[in-house]
Structure 1
Amino acid sequence: MIETSPLPVDVVLPCLDEAEALPWVLDRIPPGWRAIVVDNGSTDGTPDVARSLGASVVHEPRRGFGAACHAGLSAATADVVCFCDCDGSLDPGLLPQVAGPVLDGSADLVLGRRRPTALGAWPAHARLANLELARLIRRRTGLRLRDLGPMRAARREALLALSLSDRRSGYPLQMVVRAAEAGWRVHETDVPYRPRTGRSKVTGTWRGTWQAVRDMRAVLAEPPAAHPAAAVAGAAR
């Protein structure tokens, strides 16, 4: 049985040609939580499928994972916002355990650490890139993370106060780096990682993976800065 929360939660689902996976993903959204599907230029009818299944749809014509995620964050109105890939690799039914520490005030940002459930769920080159990023994050921020998990939760106002500027593959990393600089309590929790539906637009190829790594290295090269999100996150504790 899927747990529900007494507080409103919006779930941002960045999408590019995910019509095949959408029915399963949207069926797994926790009851009472709002699904915000951000269409990033799909040609397979993704927006129509999402609307037919009751999701809110946002169009973001500017291509890029960060552009889609930030459009969803900007459209959100709930106190807490979750992010989740929309390719069927992650089960939205597990979002309550990811959002739980944010909802109860024991964490400011929670990342779902991916644990593969089958061979091929997480290609070797993508795992190697993830290990390297975890090392660089630890060196830059001191956070001992094991995964830059795309399933995550935080408070909307605090996220907006981070003033995230990356609109490509560096967006998830920039969120973590700026959260650490703002003194946020960043936690990880294990989540199963299934073989995705269709081919990944990022980690499905070596080229896509290393383009993402290049985007993330640019984020890590940014100078540290103080962020008003420290005060926003602290006020919610």
Structure 2
Amino acid sequence: MATQSRSTAVEDEYTFDDLSVVMGTYNEEAAIGTVLADIDEVTDGRAAVVCVDGSSDTTPEIARDHGARVIEQEPQGYGVAVEEALSSASRPVVVTTDCDDTYPMERLPDFLEAINEGCDVVSGDRLYHGAETMPALNRLGNSAFAYLASALMGKRVHDTTTGMRAYRKEIIDKIEWTENTGLSAELLIRPLMRGYEVREEPIEYRERKGETKLDPFQGGAEIAKSIVKVCLEERFR
């Protein structure tokens, strides 16, 4: 496996003016307003927000009302939406989140601080505190994904499928992303196996608002397949 040194250190610290927060949205009118209001409050309205939306409800209208940039596209899955959101971000630090109000936007300053301390990727670990609001089957599956990825990489990770991460934009732009349902795992595995500085940051995980769209069995099988594929590709690249 070829390794790659981490990105060049930044002389000046990043601020909220350097931050994009991005997400894929699909019929999340129950929560999207709360998520965007939290981002606005925490960052004093200075972060840019990008939503890639395939909704049939009022999600895009609510997002625009909160000042987000909305990119509408036909629903093609989680990874397609998030990858488009990542590539559309224009600022040097990008944070991904979900739009169901499960992730703590009040931790954005901590993630930005970790980037300023030299991290290339900061990954929110939902399982550290137990993730009691997560359905038991999902919690078990996410733990299994982490053990699978750890065994294949030879490096211990604790939450491969979290939706909240911060990245240096240059890392996003350097890597070719290939997965859809398994993109969240890929976004952790490829940078880690290429030698970038990756930190897992424990976060609280809240009960979601609205209904989940992912079938736990079909989605779980696709994620496990993606983890195996990506780990083997990186090991033999």
Distance change >3 Å, CA 54–CA 7, structure 1 → 2: closer
Q: Which amino acid aligns with 1:134?
A: A
2:102 matches 1:89: yes
Q: Which amino acid aligns with 1:162?
A: I
Q: Which amino acid aligns with 2:99?
A: C
Q: 1:83 & 1:182 partners in 2: Cα distance?
A: 20
> Is the Cα contact below 8 Å between 1:201 and 1:208 reproduced in 2?
no
Distance change >3 Å, CA 174–CA 118, structure 1 → 2: closer
CA-based RMSD: 2.1
Q: Which has the higher contact order (CA 8 A, sep 6+)?
A: 2
What does 1:17-32 align with in structure 2 at a 5 Å threshold?
17-29=27-39, 30-31=43-44, 32=46
Aligned residue pairs total 218
2:230 matches 1:219: yes
How far did 1:218 drift? 3.7
Q: 1:130 & 1:212 partners in 2: Cα distance?
A: 10
Aligned with residue 167 of structure 2, among 143, 148, 154: 154
| More displaced stretch, 110-119 vs 142-151 | 110-119
Q: Aligned to 1:192, what secondary structure does the other structure show? A: coil
How far did 1:222 drift? 3.1
What does 1:71-82 align with in structure 2 at a 5 Å threshold?
71-82=84-95
Partner of 1:9: 19
Partner of 1:201: 213
Q: Aligned to 1:154, what secondary structure does the other structure show? A: strand
Distance change >3 Å, CA 99–CA 128, structure 1 → 2: same
Distance change >3 Å, CA 220–CA 125, structure 1 → 2: farther
How far did 1:209 drift? 3.4
Q: 1:16 & 1:225 partners in 2: Cα distance?
A: 36
2:128 matches 1:110: no
How far did 1:210 drift? 3.6
Partner of 1:171: 183
How far did 1:212 drift? 3.4
How far did 1:118 drift? 7.4
- Point out 4+ residue stretches in structure 1 off by more than 6 angstroms: none
Q: 2:22 & 2:168 partners in 1: Cα distance?
A: 13
The superposition leaves residues 189-233 of structure 1 with CA deviations (integer Å, 9 ceiling, x where unpaired) of 11110100012112x64444344334444434435355xxxxxxx
Partner of 1:55: 68
How far did 1:95 drift? 1.6
> Is the Cα contact below 8 Å between 1:162 and 1:175 reproduced in 2?
no
Q: Which amino acid aligns with 1:17?
A: N
Q: 1:78 & 1:216 partners in 2: Cα distance?
A: 29
- Percent of aligned positions that are identical: 30
> Is the Cα contact below 8 Å between 1:99 and 1:154 reproduced in 2?
no
Q: Aligned to 2:106, what secondary structure does the other structure show? A: helix
> Is the Cα contact below 8 Å between 1:129 and 1:213 reproduced in 2?
no
2:37 matches 1:37: no
The superposition leaves residues 115-136 of structure 1 with CA deviations (integer Å, 9 ceiling, x where unpaired) of 56875x2111111111111112
Partner of 2:5: none
Partner of 1:127: 139
Give me the TM-score of the superposition, normalised by structure 1: 0.83
In structure 1, list runs of 5 or more residues that go unmatched: 227-237
